[in-house]
Chain A
């Protein structure tokens, strides 16, 4: 499980290095990311540009990480791809995270 962590500014910057947050890695992803975010005691900017797929087990991992931080420390999801944004939107978890989406590409 690979993350790049930079703790310089007001946000803890974490870059996800996995292209798929799915059932194959959800548990390890959750445990590692949670251990990263709880130590900083500051809001988190999670760079998800490299993630092109997330299923509901990946969403569950993200929710568990969100719950590990108090409500006044937001997790901002930056560079969310359309495929991943869909899961947050349909499950209304876009109310729990702040989501900076990448522009959605054309439909059929």
Chain B
């Protein structure tokens, strides 16, 4: 098959295919790298999706990557000096929303994170200051799935256009 034919495969010979915007970034698991990626994602998709959708995307990705950053500290027991985990992030716009895939080479994700979460019932002054991240991720995503392969974690989910 010559390259020209291959490009047309499955498209019924139509000369053009509707290109969907995507974003890919490989970065160190570091709060400033995460912040910059989120700013760049807003710039990439901001013209195409609503403020509401981009806001939900930004929040979920922040929570996912913050968790990776927090749990990437080298283990003291392994006796080996490890560099910071590397995060690989891909986002593709499709017809229903923004499909996201995040992988990293940090510790494996505790199963508890993926179990259904409820918010703590708390009133002043006993409000917990943490524990909201996975609640937000679960609340704002669809088709959230996780697997570990070798030393890498893979997390995939969709941010729907309509909440």
Residues of A within 8 A of B (CB): 20, 22-24, 53, 55-57, 59-61, 63-64, 66-67, 70-71, 82-83, 86-87, 90-93, 95-96, 104-108
Whether the Cβ atoms of A57 and B66 lie closer than 8 Å is: yes
Number of residues from B at the complex interface, CB < 8 A: 36
Cβ-Cβ contact count across A and B, 8 Å cutoff: 93
Question: Is residue B146 contacting chain A, with contact meaning CB distance below 8 A?
Answer: no
Which of A22, A61, A66, A86 lies in contact with B31, CB distance below 8 A? A22
Contact B63 A55 (CB under 8 A): yes
Contact with A along B127-146 (1 / 0, CB 8 A): 11110110110011000000
Secondary structure of the B contact surface, majority rule: helix
Closest B residue by C-beta to A55: B62
B93 to chain A, nearest CB (A): 12
- Can you show 11 pairs from A to B with CB atoms below 8 A apart? A23-B70, A24-B32, A57-B130, A67-B124, A82-B55, A83-B58, A86-B59, A90-B135, A90-B140, A93-B127, A106-B50
